[in-house]
Amino acid sequence: MNQNKGILYLVPSPIGNLNDISKRIIDTLNSVDCIFCEDTRNTQKLLNLLNIKKNTISCHEHNEKEMSFKLISLLNEGKDIAYMSDAGYPAISDPGEILVKEVSKNNIKIVPLSGPTASLTALIASSLDTSHFLFYGFLNSKHSERIKEIKEIKDFPYTIIFYEAPHRINETLLDLYELLGDRKITIARELSKIHEEFIYTSLKEITSLNKEFKGELVLVLEGNTIKKDNYDLSLIIEKYNELIKNNISKKDAIISLSIIYKINKNILKKMFINNKKEEN
């Protein structure tokens, strides 16, 4: 990395609760030469609350590519710059990805700060599998495209996180139920705000209620966990025993079988444990 060039800091902003701002974020905002941001009015409000005086420069989804050249020329002059979107992590369903792509081609150091993001905040309290997951972000707002997208992820075996707007959520829940059948779903609403709420439900139950949703929402959906009974368990156990006989470790045998039979490896582990209990 060229020491004379500046640093691009990717700075998260609160998703609702101002206290989520860390000391490191404040120190970084105080130290940079200027702040590129999605909406200068929003970021200015935050800077006023933090009593930080810095120049802000607008860089949003419609001008990100052009602004990346201005950003790179300032970084090349040795200026340190922060980029902030309106809420949460930049580049997560927000502008920032193009800036990072362009800046990274120029031998310039990029430092991401950790902080609030709605996706992981919702996931960790969802009660669904957190060991593997897909962050999907927003499904397409056009119905025909949304249907295509849902079909593409139908067989995905792990938890899936969606962002959704309150005026579209009921339509989306119905599409998910019609195309994927019944699954567990957790709806996280107004995270970190006064009216924070987690609704632990299923697609069948929630679509039957036709509930009115307000505020900001994250949907955390159970993956395609195929039931144990759908498999020829004795065949899978036979294959497992064969692998063990051939000196393959239990862990590797489970990984191989999960790939061959397209079964989540945690489900396979549970299947073997249950089977052992039945044998005893």
Q: Is the Cβ of residue 91 or residue 226 nearer to ligand SAM in the bound state? A: 91
How far is 249 from 141, CA to CA, in rounded Å?
47
Looking only at residues 98 through 137 of this chain, which bind ligand SAM when binding is defined by CB under 6 A? 117-119
Spatial CB neighbours of 45, under 8 Å, sequence gap ≥ 6: none
Stretch that binds ligand SAM, among 205-213, 215-223, 244-252, 270-278 (CB under 6 A): 215-223
90-93 long-range Cβ contacts below 8 angstroms, 24+ apart: 90/10, 90/11, 90/12, 90/38, 91/10, 92/117, 92/119, 92/135, 92/137, 93/137, 93/138, 93/163
Helix (H) or strand (E) run with residue 186 in it: strand 184-189
Residue nearest to ligand SAM (CB): 88
Q: Which is nearer to ligand SAM, 62 or 262 (CB)?
A: 62
Q: Which of 6, 8, 16, 71 binds ligand SAM (CB under 6 A)?
A: 16
Q: C-beta of 18: minimal distance to ligand SAM in Å?
A: 12
Total residues at interface with ligand SAM (CB under 6 A): 23
Cβ neighbours around 25 below 10 Å, total: 23
Taking CB under 6 A as the criterion, the residue among 9, 36, 83, 89 binding ligand SAM is: 89
| 163 counts as binding ligand SAM under rule CB under 6 A | yes
Residue 93 or residue 264: which is nearer to ligand SAM going by CB? 93
Binding mask 218-237 toward ligand SAM (x if CB under 6 A, else -) reads: x-------------------
β-partners of residue 134 are 160
13 vs 207 by CB, closer to ligand SAM: 13
The least CB distance from residue 67 to ligand SAM, in Å, is 18
Q: Could you tell me the sign of the dihedral formed by the alpha carbons of 90, 91, 95, 100, in that order? A: positive
Q: How far is the CB of 60 from ligand SAM (least distance, A)?
A: 11
CB neighbour list of residue 242: distance below 8 Å, 6 or more residues apart:
none
Residue with tokens 């005893």: 280
Based on CB atoms, which residue is closest to ligand SAM, 54 or 193?
Answer: 193
| Alpha carbon distances (Å) from 272 to 39, 148, 275 | 53, 36, 5
CA-to-CA dists, residue 8 to 23, 89, 97, 113, 158, angstroms: 18, 14, 13, 11, 34
Could you give the string, one character per residue 168-197, with x where binding to ligand SAM holds by CB under 6 A and - elsewhere? --------------------x-xxxx----
Q: Which of 64, 80, 129, 164 binds ligand SAM (CB under 6 A)?
A: 164
Residues lying near ligand SAM in the complex (CB under 6 A)? 15-16, 85, 87-89, 92-94, 117-119, 163-165, 188, 190-193, 216-218
